[in-house]
């Protein structure tokens, strides 16, 4: 039986959005072969979330291929043809369990993201894009490949109760959104913030800093927008995918 016929309409919609998000991360050059993962909570099913079939490339992922798992690590998809990535389970189960307000958790290993994750200073408020994360981004120290489930409590502690982004030091980026589209939007902005920071700092020249009150004012402006910024672009993203390859919807 087709997966679509075995799940609720709400779960199917989430599957389509999440598959689209994998494709978009790849389209915008933020994928890393079969590595990294994006997770989305299953609506109406406490403790269950969707994760990628480990071994499929992001440009191959479809709504039906996503695997449902719960916080205990029980795979709820019957006879999946693929396994889950263990580190992906650790990281995303931690985020989704610790943060009931988060619907989607997105992790990448981009060039600029890893570069900023190696800097002691972390993300600096050097661009409008980065203002969204002004004093509202978390940091998590590297502990090795995240297959030790004990790390979950430290991931939860470091993310905290309010931030929507975290730098995994010496590793990469993590964004979490109240919807799939918001997670993508936040991650896109975070990635661009990192790119601009790396380029600006690479010059060795004196940086132009933004006064603290302007940073705070801008953060407030952006937070007041809620999920609106992510929503505005999302239909356009889906149109783009539909033009290129609509198979994500299958």
CA distance 123 to 101: 24
Under the binding rule (CB under 8 A), the answer on residue 127 touching other proteins is yes
Under the binding rule (CB under 8 A), the answer on residue 136 touching other proteins is no
DSSP one-letter code for 42: P
Nearest distance, CB of residue 90 and other proteins, angstroms: 31
3-state secondary structure of 244: helix
Under the binding rule (CB under 8 A), the answer on residue 15 touching other proteins is no
Q: Which of 70, 136, 156, 218 binds other proteins (CB under 8 A)?
A: 218
Under the binding rule (CB under 8 A), the answer on residue 203 touching other proteins is yes
To which residue do tokens 């964004």 refer? 175
Under the binding rule (CB under 8 A), the answer on residue 9 touching other proteins is no
Instruction: Say how many residues touch other proteins, by CB under 8 A.
Output: 37
Radius of gyration of the chain (CA): 18
Beta strands (DSSP E) in 17-102 are 38-41, 48-51, 67-70
Q: By CB under 8 A, which span of 41-49, 61-69, 134-142, 208-216 interacts with other proteins? A: 208-216
Q: Report the DSSP pairing between strands 104-108 and 67-70.
A: unpaired
CA distance 64 to 46: 20
Q: How far is CA 50 from the centre of its chain?
A: 13
**Residues 68-107, mask of contacts with other proteins (x by CB under 8 A):** ----------------------------------------
- Give 19's contacts (C-beta < 8 A, 6+ positions apart): 61, 62, 63, 65, 66, 248, 249
Q: By CB under 8 A, which span of 44-52, 65-73, 76-84, 207-215 interacts with other proteins? A: 207-215
Which positions touch other proteins (CB under 8 A)? 125-129, 131, 181, 185, 188, 192, 195-197, 199-200, 202-208, 210, 214, 217-218, 221-222, 228, 231-236, 239-240
């Amino acid at each position: 039986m087709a997966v679509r016929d075995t799940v609720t309409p709400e779960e199917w919609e989430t599957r389509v959005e999440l598959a689209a998000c994998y494709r978009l991360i790849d389209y915008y050059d933020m994928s890393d072969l079969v590595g990294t993962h994006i997770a989305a909570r299953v609506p109406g099913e406490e403790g269950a979330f969707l994760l990628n079939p480990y071994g499929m490339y992001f440009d191959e992922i479809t709504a039906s291929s996503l695997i449902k798992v719960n916080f205990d690590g029980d795979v709820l998809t019957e006879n999946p043809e693929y396994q889950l990535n263990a580190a992906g389970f650790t990281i995303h189960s931690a985020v989704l369990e610790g943060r009931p307000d988060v619907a989607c958790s997105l992790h990448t290993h981009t060039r600029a993201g890893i570069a900023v994750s190696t800097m002691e200073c972390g993300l600096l408020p050097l661009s409008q894009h980065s203002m969204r994360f002004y004093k509202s981004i978390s940091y998590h120290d590297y502990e090795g490949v995240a297959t030790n489930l004990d790390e979950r409590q430290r991931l939860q502690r470091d993310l905290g109760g309010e931030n929507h982004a975290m730098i995994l030091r010496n590793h990469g980026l993590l964004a979490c959104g109240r919807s799939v589209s918001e997670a993508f939007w936040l991650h896109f902005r975070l990635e661009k913030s990192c790119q601009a920071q790396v380029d600006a700092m690479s010059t060795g020249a004196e940086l132009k800093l933004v006064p603290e009150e302007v940073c705070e004012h801008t953060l407030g402006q952006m937070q007041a927008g809620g999920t609106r910024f992510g929503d505005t672009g999302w239909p356009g993203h889906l149109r783009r995918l539909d033009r290129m390859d609509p198979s994500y919807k299958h």
